[in-house]
Amino acid sequence: MNITGQTAAEIFDSVRQLVHAGCLPPGEALPPVRQLASVLGVNRNTVASAYRRLVAAGVAVTRGRHGTLIRSSPQLPEHERRIHDALVHDLGSGNPAVQWLPDPIDALASAGYRPVLYGDAAIAPVLAQQGRAWFDADSPGDYQVQLTHGAVDALERLLGSGLTAGDRVAIEEPCYLSGLRTVLALALEPVGVAVDAFGMQPAALQQALEAGAQAVVITPRAHNPTGASLSGERAAALRQVLKRFPHVLVIEDDHFALLAQARYYPVIPARMPRWARIRSVSKALGPDLRLAIVASDPDTAQQLSLRLVRGNTWVSHLLQQTVAACLASPAVLQQVQAAGADYASRRAALVAALSRRGLLPWLPSEGLNLWLPVPVASQPLAERLLRRGWWVRAGEVFALQQPMQALRITIATLAARDAERLAEDIVALIEDAG
């Protein structure tokens, strides 16, 4: 290990170059501060400063008595995916039903497209107005609106601009896969917070915040993968916990807002200094319409705007005008409302089929997925279901710290007659495993 340098910046650069050259592999311990300072002939504070900078840059991590180690590349969890097999029912992708997605070209054609040039406003005025109408009832008067390329992009930009590498982020467990991947890709440390049928548990959240979490991501309704939505009582309890930690960045991911049947209960305290509320259109208008509207405090909005500026990475105005046309179309909104009712009906049919056979999914449930706890290991069960023509996701995929014995079943395209067959197969396979 040939670390050189006389200043903190030089030592930092030397270690980083050794890492990039493969001379310092992941997990390798750096020399103790006192030892390296003696070898280089510099003050211990100089080496300590270099090590702190390496940690902040995500090159190294501190491990208490084990010292400072080169950071390992995170093992990213699985992501949402589809299975392309005509003989298999796809109940694992988390996708909306294609027949309920409106035709955005028709909506844009009826509204008309206006070309946009450099120097124009980053947010289309009509969409900014629609966004404010969406958030006014839930947000303080001085909030600001920004756009991102979907809810996951909003999470990445909010966490990336508000935190530094190594910071802890409290996330729901079972985990939203794309959210977990985002946290890990930013070199942040995810802390799982237990969820039940009414959402994130207050005692578990307090424990995570007391352990040093600098941000929390909460889904107020239609949590993915469980379908949990916050009750009014649970939301109030979470607000009380968050009030004790005013330095924390609180992010609400209300991704299912357009389709939700469940009532919305906010969790962000009224005077929280750092907060953001995300609402996406992708579940209702189509996954390829990558747009989310973000309401936040002015300082957080300023950080977002610095990363979404004209001439750099603003959200396409063609996309903005398409979404605005859809949100202004009575026909589209009627279709979205019908889709939400249809998803609720399909979910109810599966719940009834399972309940008649003694299987109890989490209730109440909202969104495109149903969470079914099972008394056997869920990964082998999911594999056996696939051999019978059903693709569902095993609960182990969504686990971070706690073991999960459950199935996540996407209900968006599940017909009532198929729900009965699926329930029969699950019961039969559980009995075989027992």
Q: Tell which wins on pLDDT, 87 or 384.
A: 384
pLDDT, position 47:
92
pLDDT, position 72:
80
Confidence band, pLDDT 50/70/90 cuts, at residue 78: low
How much is the average pLDDT of 129-138?
94
Quick check: 313 pLDDT over 70?
no
Structure tokens at 69: 């180690």
pLDDT, position 196:
96
Residues in contact with 184: Cβ distance below 8 Å, sequence separation at least 6, in sequence order:
74, 75, 76, 77, 190
Instruction: Provide the greatest CA pair distance for the chain.
Output: 77
Q: Do residues 51 and 60 lie in contact, with contact meaning Cβ atoms separated by under 8 Å? A: yes
CA distance 24 to 70: 7
Domains in the chain, ordered, with CATH?
A: 8-70 (1.10.10.10), 78-98+332-432 (3.90.1150.10), 117-328 (3.40.640.10)
CA distance 171 to 188: 12
Structure tokens at 132: 């404010």
Residues in contact with 297: Cβ distance below 8 Å, sequence separation at least 6, in sequence order:
142, 143, 144, 272, 273, 274, 275, 276
pLDDT, position 74:
66
pLDDT, position 81:
67
Q: What b-and-e string marks burial along 200-209, b requiring 16 or more CB atoms within 10 Å of the CB?
A: bbbebbbbbb
Q: Which of 21-30, 78-87, 123-132, 330-339 has the lowest mean pLDDT?
A: 78-87
Number of C-beta neighbours around residue 162 at 10 A: 19
Quick check: 311 pLDDT over 80?
no
CA distance 120 to 123: 9
Q: Which amino acid is at 434?
A: G
Quick check: 312 pLDDT over 60?
no
Of these ranges, 12-26, 57-71, 258-272, the one predicted with the greatest mean pLDDT is 258-272
Interaxial angle between packed helices 330-355 and 416-433, expressed in degrees from 0 to 180 and rounded to the nearest 10: 40
Structure tokens at 116: 């946009």
How much is the average pLDDT of 63-67?
80
Residues in contact with 117: Cβ distance below 8 Å, sequence separation at least 6, in sequence order:
none
Q: What is the DSSP letter of 250?
A: E
Residues in contact with 269: Cβ distance below 8 Å, sequence separation at least 6, in sequence order:
239, 242, 243, 250
Which residue in 321, 194, 218, 333 sits closest to 269, CA to CA? 218
Percentage of residues in the chain with pLDDT exceeding 90? 74
How much is the average pLDDT of 92-117?
91
Q: What φ, ψ does residue 217 adopt, rounded to 5°? A: -115, 120
Torsion over CA: 93, 98, 102, 108 (sign): positive
Question: What is the per-residue DSSP string for 271-302?
Answer: T-SSEEEEEESHHHH-TTS--EEEEE-HHHHH
Question: What is the SS3 assignment for 369?
Answer: strand
Quick check: 84 pLDDT over 90?
no
Which residue in 153, 171, 179, 157 sits closest to 77, CA to CA? 179
Number of C-beta neighbours around residue 107 at 10 A: 21
**Exposed, middle or buried by CB within 10 Å (0-12, 13-18, 19+), for 36?**
buried
How much is the average pLDDT of 249-257?
97
Residues in contact with 396: Cβ distance below 8 Å, sequence separation at least 6, in sequence order:
377, 378, 379, 403, 404
Residues in contact with 408: Cβ distance below 8 Å, sequence separation at least 6, in sequence order:
92, 94, 225, 226, 369, 370, 371, 372, 392, 393, 394, 395, 397, 398
Question: What is the SS3 assignment for 114?
Answer: coil
Number of C-beta neighbours around residue 368 at 10 A: 25
CA distance 197 to 122: 39
Q: Tell which wins on pLDDT, 320 or 112.
A: 320
Confidence band, pLDDT 50/70/90 cuts, at residue 303: confident
Q: What is the DSSP letter of 213?
A: E
Q: What φ, ψ does residue 199 adopt, rounded to 5°? A: 105, -165
CA distance 251 to 407: 27
Q: What is the DSSP letter of 29?
A: B
Q: Do residues 144 and 296 lie in contact, with contact meaning Cβ atoms separated by under 8 Å? A: yes
